[in-house]
C-alpha cells in the first residue's frame, strides 16, 4: 500500500507565551500543499511480529530522525503488529520548515491503520501522532487548520488558495531550533486566523512569522529572497515555520530559472 505524505506551509506564525514544560504556545495556520514524499508499507509474514525493515531513497535521512520506524514501534507497543517493510522515497527537504518528517510519521500511522485494519479513530491517531512531534497531528486530516497550544490544538479554517501559484525557495541553510528561538520574545498578537480569512492582498502588511525577526539578521540571504519574491509579483511571501524555506504565493505563473544552482526551487499550482 502506498500513500503520499504532503508538505505544509505556515501562513503566519506567532509565539505568544513560554510554557512551564519548556515548549511555547503559538498561533499559526497550517496549509498542506502537493509537494510529496512517497511512502510504501507491506506486511511481510517472513518477519517476526514487531520487526520493521526500513529502506529509503531520494534525500538521505540523518541517524535518529527516522520517524516512520518510531511510528511503527509506537503502534506495535499497543497492537502487537506483524512484521512490515517500509520504503520511503524522500523528496521534501528536511529541516526546512515544511513538516516533511512529521508528515511521514503521521502517514505511517494512517497507512498502518488502514493496511492492518486496526480501526483506530481519527482522534486516537492524533493522540499517537502528538507523541511523535508537535506538527504530526495536523497531517492526520487533509485540510487547512488553525493551530494553537504547541501546535496540537487544531481547528479547520476556511482558506482556499486553489488556482494560486506557489514558488518555494530553499537555500540549503540550516537553522537550529535553538537559533530560531534565540531572540524570540513571546507576546500576544492579532490572531493569524482572522488575517488569513481576509483577502490575500492584506497579508503582506498584516500576516507575520515571528521567526523572521529572529532568523533574518543571521541569514540576510533569506530576507533577500523574500524581497525578490515580492519584486517578482508575489501576493504574499514569507518564511515557513522556523525556516529556512521561503515561499511566494502568486496569482500568475512566473519564471523560476534564475536562482542559484544549489537552491531547491519548486513551483506548482495550489
- Report domain extents, the chain: 2-156, 165-269
Pick the catalytic residue from 8, 90, 193, 226.
8
- What's the CA angle centered on 205, arms 201 and 207, to 5 degrees? 85
Give yes or no for a contact between 149 and 30, defined as CB atoms under 8 angstroms apart: no
> Helix axis angle, 100-115 relative to 67-79, nearest 10°?
30
Give yes or no for a contact between 37 and 4, defined as CB atoms under 8 angstroms apart: yes
Q: How far apart are CA 31 and CA 93, in angstroms?
A: 17
CA atoms within 13 A on the CB side of 263: 20
Q: In the beta sheet, which residues pair with residue 27?
A: 14
Q: Locate cell 493551530: which residue?
A: 147
Burial label for 177, CB within 10 Å (0-12, 13-18, 19+), is exposed
Q: Locate cell 494512517: which residue?
A: 110
In the three-class reduction of DSSP (H, G, I as helix; E, B as strand; rest coil), residue 110 is classed as: helix
Residue 58 region by backbone torsions, left for phi larger than 0, else alpha for psi between -120 and 50, else beta: left
- 3-state SS record for 119-175: CCCHHHHHHHHHHHCCCHHHHCCCCCEEEECCCCEEEECCCCCCCCEEEEEECCCCC
Q: What residues have CB less than 8 Å from 160, skipping those under 6 apart?
A: none
Considering the domain delimited by 165-269, tell me its CATH architecture. 2-Layer Sandwich (3.30)
Catalytic residue at 8? Answer: yes
Catalytic residue at 135? Answer: yes
State residue 61's pLDDT score.
Answer: 86
State residue 111's pLDDT score.
Answer: 98
Q: How far apart are CA 5 and CA 135, in angstroms?
A: 13
> Same CATH fold, 165-269 and 2-156?
no
Give yes or no for a contact between 27 and 14, defined as CB atoms under 8 angstroms apart: yes
Pick the catalytic residue from 104, 135, 210, 235.
135
Which H or E run includes 206? Answer: helix 203-206
Give yes or no for a contact between 143 and 31, defined as CB atoms under 8 angstroms apart: no
Q: What is the pLDDT along the chain (270 residues), one digit of tens a residue?
A: 999 999 999 999 999 888 888 778 899 999 999 999 999 999 999 999 999 999 999 998 877 779 999 999 999 999 999 999 999 999 999 889 999 999 999 999 999 999 999 999 999 999 999 999 989 999 999 999 999 998 889 999 999 899 999 999 999 898 887 888 877 877 777 779 999 999 999 999 999 999 999 899 999 999 999 999 999 999 999 999 988 999 999 999 988 778 999 999 999 999
Count of Cβ atoms closer than 10 Å to residue 90 Cβ? 19
State residue 42's pLDDT score.
Answer: 98
Topology adopted by domain 2-156: Ribosomal Protein S5; domain 2 (3.30.230)
Amino acid at each position: 500500500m502506498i500513500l503520499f505524505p504532503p508538505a505544509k506551509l505556515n501562513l503566519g506564525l506567532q509565539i505568544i507565551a513560554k510554557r512551564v514544560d519548556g515548549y511555547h504556545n503559538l498561533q499559526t495556520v497550517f496549509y498542506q500543499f502537493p509537494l510529496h514524499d512517497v511512502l510504501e508499507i507491506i506486511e511481510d509474514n517472513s518477519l517476526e511480529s514487531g520487526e520493521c525493515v526500513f529502506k529509503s531513497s531520494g534525500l538521505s535521512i540523518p541517524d535518529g530522525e527516522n520517524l516512520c520506524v518510531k511510528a511503527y514501534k509506537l503502534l506495535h507497543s499497543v497492537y502487537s503488529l506483524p512484521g512490515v517493510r517500509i520504503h520511503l522515497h524522500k523528496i521534501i527537504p528536511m529541516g526546512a520548515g515544511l513538516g516533511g518528517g512529521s508528515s511521514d510519521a503521521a502517514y505511517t500511522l494512517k497507512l498502518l491503520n488502514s493496511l492492518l485494519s486496526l480501526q483506530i479513530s481519527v482522534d486516537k491517531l492524533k493522540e499517537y501522532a502528538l507523541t511523535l512531534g508537535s506538527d504530526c497531528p495536523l497531517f492526520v486530516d487533509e485540510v487547512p487548520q488553525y493551530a494553537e497550544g504547541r501546535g496540537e490544538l487544531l481547528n479547520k479554517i476556511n482558506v482556499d488558495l486553489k488556482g494560486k501559484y506557489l514558488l518555494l525557495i530553499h537555500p540549503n541553510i540550516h537553522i537550529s531550533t535553538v537559533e530560531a528561538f534565540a531572540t524570540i520574545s513571546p507576546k500576544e498578537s492579532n490572531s493569524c486566523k482572522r488575517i488569513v480569512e481576509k483577502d490575500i492582498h492584506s497579508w503582506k502588511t498584516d500576516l507575520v512569522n515571528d521567526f523572521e525577526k529572529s532568523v533574518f539578521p543571521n541569514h540576510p540571504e533569506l530576507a533577500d529572497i523574500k524581497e525578490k519574491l515580492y519584486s517578482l509579483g508575489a501576493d504574499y511571501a514569507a518564511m515557513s515555520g522556523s525556516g529556512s524555506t521561503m515561499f511566494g504565493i502568486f496569482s500568475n505563473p512566473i519564471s523560476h530559472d534564475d536562482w542559484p544552482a544549489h537552491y531547491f526551487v519548486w513551483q506548482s499550482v495550489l
